[in-house]
Amino acid sequence: MSMTNPVSRTYEVRRATEDDVAELMRLRAMLFVNLGGEYFNPSDGDDEWLVALERVLKEKLEDDDAHILVVDGEDGLAACGIGTIEQWFPGPHSRNGRVGHVVGVVTVPEYRRRGYSRAIMGRLLDWFRERDVARVDLFASHDGSPLYRDLGFTDHPDPALYWRP
């Protein structure tokens, strides 16, 4: 009797297309629900952000400063990850000022523990290397932190603060 190990199945990490936008929106919404709390899911929030998300996703699919990767599932996307690059001012700690950001990696619960996020991150890190970024920043969920640390991410030396107008 032969059983298929779901972790050993082959899959392809591919660049997202405009046909993936609705699924990318679904996964981004899932990410914020999973993160929870008033910051990610404000009680006074509405769905206006989804309209903006759709517009930005369509724009960024064509931009050189963004890389949106996906893994297909049986009935839609199983996982996605987004990387962006910004040009900051160079400094002794940032030789060329090119800073990468992992904007979010999310996997649908029934597809977790199959290596999709690791594969997406590997491709994103290759993309950042090819574009000569000085560093890559990300904010990790509690569940995602072990993967990122395993890939070489460490605690950021700058204390993070934010302001909302």
Instruction: State the sign of the Cα–Cα–Cα–Cα dihedral 137, 78, 21, 16.
Output: positive
Q: Six-digit token pair at 81? A: 């990850």
Q: Are 138 and 83 in contact (CB under 8 A)?
A: no
pLDDT above 70 as % of the chain? 88
Average pLDDT over residues 146-152: 95
pLDDT at 7: 43
- What band does 10 get if pLDDT is binned at 50, 70 and 90? low
Residue 143 predicted with pLDDT over 70? yes
pLDDT, tens digit (0-9, with 9 covering 90-100), for 42-91:
666 677 889 999 999 999 999 999 999 999 999 999 999 999 999 999 99
Average pLDDT over residues 101-115: 94
Distance CA(67)–CA(123), nearest Å, equals 10
From the number of C-beta atoms within 10 Å of its C-beta (0-12, 13-18, 19+), residue 153 rates as middle
Per-domain residue ranges for the chain? 13-150
Residue 41 predicted with pLDDT over 70? no
CATH 3.40.50.11900 for domain 13-150, yes or no, is no
Distance CA(44)–CA(1), nearest Å, equals 54
Angle at 42 between CA 136 and CA 49, to 5 degrees: 65
Q: Compute φ and ψ for 116, nearest 5 degrees.
A: -65, -45
pLDDT at 42: 63
Q: Compute φ and ψ for 109, nearest 5 degrees.
A: -50, -45
